[in-house]
C-alpha cells in the first residue's frame, strides 16, 4: 500500500519515540529504526478537515512506502520535523535526529518578477498571462491587465499585483507580520486611480542563481516555516532583471504599442517607473532613485509569482528515484526536488513528474499487470 500526504488535509510526522533500549524498535510517524539498521518510514499522522487526528501505517507488503508531495514549502518542513535534516537545525528545536542531512531546506529558490505599469487609453479587459516572450538572456516578458474595471476596484485585490495574497516572501522574515499587510491595505486606499487603469508588462527571471533556505519556527506542522529566497543576491540575476526592464522600454516605444496608450499622456519611461513604484505591489520600502537606477527598481518592485522550488534536491536529499537518502520506504515527489523551475507556470511540469513516477512505480511493482 502506498500512502500519500498530498491532500488538503494537514498532515505531519510523529515525533520520534524510543521504545526501550537502542536495539528496540522505534518510530517517528514517517521514520522507524531497528538498532543500527537503515531508518525506515512506517506511517503518518494527519489531521482531517474537522480537526480529528489520525494515524496511518504501512502494510508489511514489500514495496509499501510513503510518498510526500507537500510542495517546496511543505516537504522540507515535514522532513525536518521528522528528524531528517541538518543536525544544528534539529537540535535547536529538540528534535531527535533520525538522519543528518545538511541539504534539507537548502537551495530554496523562486523566479523573481518585476513589472512596469502601462496606462491605457481605454478601460482594459481582464487578462492573465497569455503570451510569453523569451529573450536570449532567459528573461520572460509577459503581460497582465484588467485591474481597473470598476470604480471601487482600488479597494479590491489585484491578482498577482496584490501584497495581500502572499508577497511577504519579498521582505526579511523579521518584518513579516499581519500588521505589515494591514498597513499595505491602508496605504493602497490613497493611491491614484490611474495606477490601476491599465496593465502591467512583466519581466521574470528564469532559473535564478540566487538561493536561500527554509528553517523551522517550531515543531508544530501548522506553523509556517521561515523561508528566505534572497532575491537578486547573485549579481547575474540583477543584470538580467535590468535587461528585462530595458526590453520592456523598447516594447512600449514602438508605434504598434502606442495604439494602446493615451495619445496625450506624455508618459516617459521615468514616469512609468515612478507610477509602477507607486502601485506599491509589495511590502518593500521604496527608494527615491527607483526611476533612475534600474537595479534599485528591480529590488524594490520584485514580487513572487509562486514558482517556489528546492529544499529536497535530487542528489542531495533524494536519489534519482526520489527516494529519501538515509531512509527506506519514503519518497518525495514534487517541486521541492527541482533545482530549476520552468520560467512559465510549473504546474504542468510537476503533474508530468507525478505521472511519470506513478507509472514507473506501478511497473516496478506489478510488471505487465500494471497495464500502463
Percent of the chain with pLDDT over 90: 44
Give a yes or no: residue 19 inside a domain: no
Q: Is the pLDDT of residue 3 over 60?
A: no
227 φ, ψ to 5°?
A: -120, 130
Residue-range definition of the domain harbouring residue 365: 24-105+312-369
Q: Is the pLDDT of residue 174 over 90?
A: no
Give a yes or no: residue 180 inside a domain: yes
Give a yes or no: residue 54 inside a domain: yes
Which of 181-195, 237-251, 306-320 shows the lowest per-residue confidence on average (mean pLDDT)?
A: 181-195
Work out the average pLDDT over 225-241: 96
Active site residues: 307
Judgement on whether residues 154 and 258 belong to the same structural domain of the protein: yes
Judgement on whether residues 360 and 295 belong to the same structural domain of the protein: no
Q: Which of 262, 278, 306 represents a domain boundary (last residue)? A: 306
Cell 532583471 belongs to residue: 241
Whether the CB-CB separation of 231 and 110 falls below 8 Å is answered with yes
Average pLDDT over the chain reads 81
- The band of 63, judged by pLDDT with boundaries at 50, 70 and 90, is confident
The better pLDDT of the pair 338, 178 is held by: 338
Which of 10-14, 122-126, 146-150, 226-230 shows the lowest per-residue confidence on average (mean pLDDT)?
A: 10-14
What is the domain count for the chain?
2
Give a yes or no: residue 217 inside a domain: no
DSSP codes, 178-236: HHHHHHHHHHHTTS-GGGGSEEEEEEEESS-S--EEEE-SSS-TTSPPEEE--TT-SHH
Q: pTM here?
A: 0.81
Judgement on whether residues 241 and 262 belong to the same structural domain of the protein: yes
Judgement on whether residues 137 and 196 belong to the same structural domain of the protein: yes
Give a yes or no: residue 14 inside a domain: no
Judgement on whether residues 100 and 128 belong to the same structural domain of the protein: no
Judgement on whether residues 56 and 130 belong to the same structural domain of the protein: no
- The band of 272, judged by pLDDT with boundaries at 50, 70 and 90, is confident
Give a yes or no: residue 10 inside a domain: no
Judgement on whether residues 78 and 118 belong to the same structural domain of the protein: no
Q: Is the pLDDT of residue 152 over 60?
A: no
Work out the average pLDDT over 6-13: 34
Q: Is the pLDDT of residue 368 over 90?
A: no
Q: Check residue 31 and give its pLDDT.
A: 44
* CATH number of the domain enclosing 48: 3.50.50.60
Give a yes or no: residue 69 inside a domain: yes
Judgement on whether residues 170 and 254 belong to the same structural domain of the protein: yes
Give a yes or no: residue 7 inside a domain: no
* CATH number of the domain enclosing 168: 3.30.410
42: left (phi over 0), alpha (psi -120 to 50) or beta: alpha
Judgement on whether residues 301 and 322 belong to the same structural domain of the protein: no
Judgement on whether residues 44 and 122 belong to the same structural domain of the protein: no
Q: Which of 259, 276, 306 represents a domain boundary (last residue)? A: 306
Q: Which of 255, 284, 306 represents a domain boundary (last residue)? A: 306
Judgement on whether residues 171 and 40 belong to the same structural domain of the protein: no
Query: Coil, strand, or helix at residue 251?
Result: helix
The better pLDDT of the pair 254, 156 is held by: 254
Q: Check residue 229 and give its pLDDT.
A: 95
Distance CA 119, CA 38 (A): 61
Which of 163-172, 194-203, 206-215 shows the lowest per-residue confidence on average (mean pLDDT)?
A: 163-172
Judgement on whether residues 255 and 331 belong to the same structural domain of the protein: no
Percent of the chain with pLDDT over 70: 79
Nearest to 220, CA basis, from 12, 7, 6, 55: 12
Q: Is the pLDDT of residue 157 over 60?
A: no
Amino acid at each position: 500500500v502506498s500512502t500519500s500526504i498530498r491532500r488538503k488535509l494537514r498532515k505531519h510526522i510523529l515525533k520520534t519515540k524510543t521504545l526501550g533500549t537502542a536495539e528496540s524498535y522505534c518510530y517517528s510517524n514517517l521514520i522507524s529504526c531497528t538498532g543500527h539498521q537503515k531508518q525506515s518510514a512506517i506511517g503518518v499522522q494527519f489531521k482531517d478537515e474537522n480537526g480529528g487526528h489520525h494515524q496511518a501505517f504501512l502494510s508489511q507488503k514489500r514495496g509499501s512506502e510513503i510518498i510526500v508531495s507537500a510542495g517546496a514549502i511543505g516537504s522540507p518542513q515535514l522532513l525536518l520535523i521528522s528528524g531528517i535534516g541538518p543536525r544544528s537545525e534539529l537540535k535547536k528545536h529538540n528534535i531527535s535526529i533520525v538522519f543528518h542531512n545538511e541539504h534539507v531546506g537548502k537551495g530554496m529558490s523562486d523566479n523573481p518578477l518585476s513589472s512596469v505599469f502601462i496606462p491605457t487609453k481605454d478601460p482594459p479587459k481582464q487578462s492573465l498571462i497569455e503570451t510569453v516572450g523569451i529573450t536570449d538572456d532567459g528573461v520572460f516578458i509577459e503581460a497582465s491587465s484588467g485591474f481597473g474595471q470598476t470604480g471601487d476596484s482600488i479597494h479590491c485585490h489585484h491578482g498577482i499585483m496584490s501584497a495581500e495574497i502572499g508577497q511577504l516572501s519579498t521582505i526579511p522574515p523579521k518584518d513579516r507580520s499581519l500588521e505589515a499587510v494591514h498597513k499595505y491595505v491602508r496605504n493602497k486606499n490613497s493611491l491614484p486611480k490611474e495606477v490601476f487603469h491599465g496593465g502591467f508588462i512583466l519581466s521574470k527571471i528564469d532559473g535564478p542563481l540566487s538561493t536561500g533556505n527554509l528553517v523551522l519556527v517550531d515543531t508544530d506542522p501548522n506553523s509556517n516555516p521561515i523561508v528566505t529566497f534572497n532575491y537578486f543576491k547573485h549579481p547575474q540575476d540583477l543584470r538580467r532583471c535590468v535587461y528585462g526592464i530595458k526590453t520592456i522600454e523598447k516594447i512600449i516605444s514602438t508605434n504598434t504599442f502606442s495604439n494602446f496608450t493615451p495619445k496625450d499622456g506624455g508618459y516617459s519611461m521615468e514616469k512609468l517607473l515612478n507610477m509602477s513604484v507607486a502601485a506599491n505591489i509589495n511590502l518593500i520600502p521604496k527608494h527615491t532613485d527607483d526611476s533612475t537606477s534600474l537595479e534599485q527598481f528591480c529590488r524594490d518592485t520584485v514580487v513572487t509569482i509562486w514558482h517556489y522550488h528546492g529544499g529536497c534536491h535530487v542528489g542531495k536529499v533524494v536519489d534519482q528515484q526520489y527516494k529519501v537518502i538515509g531512509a527506506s520506504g519514503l519518497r518525495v515527489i514534487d517541486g521541492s526536488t527541482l533545482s530549476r523551475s520552468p520560467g512559465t507556470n510549473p504546474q504542468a511540469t510537476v503533474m508530468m513528474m507525478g505521472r511519470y513516477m506513478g507509472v514507473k512505480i506501478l511497473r516496478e511493482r506489478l510488471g505487465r499487470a500494471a497495464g500502463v
